């Protein structure tokens, strides 16, 4: 398939898929809480409403950082779905998160400032697990390129079960769900008003929501890599992981940032690093 067609397809389809996933998330969450819930298309209506609202800002430069946040999220997805370097894709995703944090700091709001600090703590918590997973994929496939990882003959989960479990554990951070929804939440139980997004409104807040939809596809695509040799099993596994995150969100309460970092690093050290050590001796 022509690479330009892949890029255009991703740019158009990824927010549609991400928005639908957000709508399904709300619907399933409502059912788990014995509510009817909003329609599945409600996230799209919400973004449309934000686009029509006045764009109020504390400082004009805060929106500058959000444009870069959205750009690097999309750039990450383009790299990922065109089969480029996985390490570069993750670095681009981290850079996007840094711009998001800088935008929140620029507003000088105490709520936004505290949300930005928590966002940095979350980045510190999940990055080791992500990097260990990339190293594990390289050890198995001999390549950092996503196209080579996808074409590997056997499911990577057979070689990297600990890393796969570790990635599922830290996904609650990326999906901004309990018990790790520290910096902001997509639901109405955030004690910091809206946390890191408190001082964003109108078109800028709509951009942040759309960026999250793009991010959903990249995150779930990363999970898919563990099962990529069997596309059907890969898609089913991604759906199971997505449902599991919704279930965890509705079962567990939010934890403090200290426990977030400690638990994620402990999982990275035991399940992640332990898996790499075993893999090294098996393939030696």
Which residue has 């999970």 as its token pair?
223
d(CA 280, CA 79): 28
Instruction: Please tell me the predicted confidence (pLDDT) of residue 185.
Output: 64
Report residue 53 as tokens. Answer: 């609202």
Which is nearest to 125 in space by CA: 164, 76, 176, 75?
A: 176
pLDDT of 192 reads 47
Distance CA 143, CA 179 (A): 34
* Confidence (pLDDT) at 284: 67
Please check whether residue 112 is in contact with residue 196, taking contact to mean a CB–CB distance below 8 angstroms: yes
Give the whole-angstrom CA distance, residue 171 versus residue 150: 21
- For the chain, the DSSP string reads --HHHHHHHHHHHHHHHHHHHHHHHHHHHHHHTT-----TTHHHHHHHHHHHS----SSTHHHHHHHHHHHHHHHHHHHHHTT-BHHHHHHHHHHHHHHHHHHHHHT--HHHHHHHHHHHHHHHHHHHHHHHHHHHHHHHHS--BHHHHHT-SS-GGGT-HHHHHHHHHHHHHHTT-TTS--S--SSS--TTTTGGGTT--HHHHHHHHHHHHHHHHHHHHHHHGGGTTSHHHHHHHHHHHHHHHHHHHHHSPP--HHHHHHHHHHHIIIIIIHHHHHHHHHH-
Specify burial of residue 148 (Cβ count, 10 A radius: 0-12, 13-18, 19+): middle
d(CA 78, CA 8): 9
Note the pTM of the prediction, 2 decimals.
0.90
> Which of 21-26's residues contact partners 24+ apart within 8 Å by CB, and which partners?
21/213, 21/216, 21/220, 21/242, 22/186, 22/212, 22/213, 22/216, 25/186, 25/242, 25/246
Taking only the tens place, the pLDDT of each residue in 40-90 is 999 999 999 988 887 777 777 788 899 999 999 999 999 999 999 999 999
**pLDDT tens series, the chain, 284 aa:** 588 898 999 999 999 999 999 999 999 989 988 888 889 999 999 999 988 887 777 777 788 899 999 999 999 999 999 999 999 999 999 999 999 999 888 887 788 888 888 889 999 999 999 999 999 999 999 999 999 999 999 999 999 999 999 999 999 888 888 888 877 766 555 444 567 887 788 888 899 999 999 999 999 999 999 999 899 999 999 999 999 999 988 888 888 888 889 999 999 999 999 999 999 888 76
Q: Give the Cα separation of 219 and 48 in Å (integer).
A: 24
Backbone phi, psi, residue 229, to 5°: -65, -20
């Amino acid at each position: 398939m022509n690479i330009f067609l892949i890029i255009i397809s991703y740019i158009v389809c990824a927010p549609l898929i991400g928005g639908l996933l957000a709508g399904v998330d709300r619907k399933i969450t409502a059912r788990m809480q014995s509510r009817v819930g909003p329609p599945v298309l409600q996230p799209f209506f919400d973004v449309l409403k934000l686009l029509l609202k006045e764009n109020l800002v504390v400082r004009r430069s805060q929106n500058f950082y959000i444009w870069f946040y959205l750009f690097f999220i999309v750039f990450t997805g383009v790299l990922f779905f065109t089969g480029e370097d996985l390490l570069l894709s993750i670095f681009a995703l981290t850079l996007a998160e840094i711009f998001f944090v800088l935008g929140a700091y620029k507003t000088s709001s105490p709520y936004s400032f505290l949300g930005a600090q928590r966002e940095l703590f979350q980045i510190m918590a999940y990055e080791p697990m992500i990097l260990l997973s990339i190293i594990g994929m390289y050890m198995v496939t001999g390549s950092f390129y996503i196209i080579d990882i996808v074409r590997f003959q056997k499911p990577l989960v057979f070689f990297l079960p600990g890393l796969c479990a570790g990635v599922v554990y830290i996904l609650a951070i990326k999906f901004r769900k309990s018990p790790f929804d520290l910096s902001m939440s997509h639901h109405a139980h955030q004690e910091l008003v809206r946390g890191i997004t408190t001082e964003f409104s109108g078109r800028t807040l709509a951009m942040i929501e759309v960026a999250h939809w793009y991010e959903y596809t990249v995150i779930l695509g990363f999970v898919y890599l563990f099962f990529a040799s069997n596309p059907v099993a890969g898609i089913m596994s991604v759906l199971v992981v997505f449902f599991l995150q919704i279930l965890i969100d509705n079962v567990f309460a939010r934890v403090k940032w200290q426990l977030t970092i400690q638990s994620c690093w402990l999982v990275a050290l035991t399940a992640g690093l332990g898996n790499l050590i075993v893999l090294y001796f098996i393939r030696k």
